[in-house]
């Protein structure tokens, strides 16, 4: 039996640079773009590395909340992946916790080729106040959102099914909207890749 074809074969990944301030540099909006976002300890960098099949593309920090820039990567020379700074780290100062909003709002306003935002939630916990605030922000803007449940390897199959059901209830969405993924085992990577590629089949959300 032939293995299922990879929905996102990786040929190249190139770091383009970082956007450090609301009016700062960002890549020219010529390629379609998808952004990844989540709480500071949700495993975002590990998930990005899993998606692009590289170990150190996105930096995995031992200090949650450390990254304060939006980092851009060109994948296969055909689309751009934006790694947004994590939010909601409790030990950060109020100023630091609030600093992401102007940066993100500017990014959303200036990203003419944005196809969607992949929002990461820790499958073991219900959405936090910060998670709900981000969902409200994205919903208010109108950008398509794909929800990924991370750290699924930390639960049994039965426990995972129960937690996915709990997330679905808490978010008020259909079950197929929430994708369970483990960056440790790779489970769900291809499903995530297929969903990301499906976003690129859509026009920029402002024009849809």
Fold of 13-200: Rossmann fold (3.40.50)
Q: Which residues pair with 65 in a beta bridge?
A: none
pLDDT band at 96 (very low <50, low <70, confident <90, very high): low
Once rounded to an integer, what is the mean pLDDT over residues 181-191? 96
Where residue 186 falls (left for φ over 0; alpha for ψ -120 to 50; beta otherwise) is left
Farthest CA pair distance, the chain: 55
Q: Are 104 and 84 in contact (CB under 8 A)?
A: yes
Angle at 146 between CA 144 and CA 147, to 5 degrees: 140
More confident residue, 119 or 40: 119
Instruction: Indicate the pTM of the whole model.
Output: 0.90
pLDDT range class, residue 187, cuts 50, 70, 90:
very high
- Mean pLDDT, the chain, rounded, equals 88
48: Cα separation from own chain's centroid: 8
The whole-angstrom separation of Cα 143 and Cα 203 is 12
Question: Which residues contact residue 163 at a Cβ distance below 8 angstroms, ignoring those fewer than 6 apart?
Answer: 123, 124, 149, 155
Specify the range with the lowest mean pLDDT, choosing from 77-91, 143-157, 179-193. 77-91
Give the least confident one: 9-13, 90-94, 110-114. 90-94
């Amino acid at each position: 039996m032939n293995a299922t074809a990879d929905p996102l074969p990786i040929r190249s990944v190139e770091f383009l640079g970082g956007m450090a301030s609301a009016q700062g540099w960002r890549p020219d909006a010529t390629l379609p773009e998808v952004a990844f976002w989540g709480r500071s300890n949700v495993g975002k960098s590990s998930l990005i590395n899993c998606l692009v099949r590289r170990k150190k593309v996105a930096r995995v920090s031992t200090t949650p909340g450390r990254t304060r820039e939006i980092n851009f990567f060109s994948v296969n020379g055909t689309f751009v992946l934006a790694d947004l700074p994590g939010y909601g780290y409790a030990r950060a100062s109020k100023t630091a916790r609030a600093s992401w909003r102007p940066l993100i709002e500017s990014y959303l306003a200036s990203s003419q080729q944005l196809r969607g935002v992949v929002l990461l939630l820790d499958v073991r916990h219900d959405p936090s106040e910060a998670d709900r605030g981000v969902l409200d922000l994205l919903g208010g803007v109108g950008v398509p959102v794909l929800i990924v449940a991370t750290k699924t390897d930390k639960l049994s199959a039965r426990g995972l099914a129960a937690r996915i059901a709990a997330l679905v209830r808490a978010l008020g969405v259909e079950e197929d909207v929430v994708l369970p993924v483990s960056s440790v085992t790779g489970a769900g990577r291809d499903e995530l890749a297929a969903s990301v590629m499906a976003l690129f089949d859509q026009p920029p959300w402002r024009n849809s």
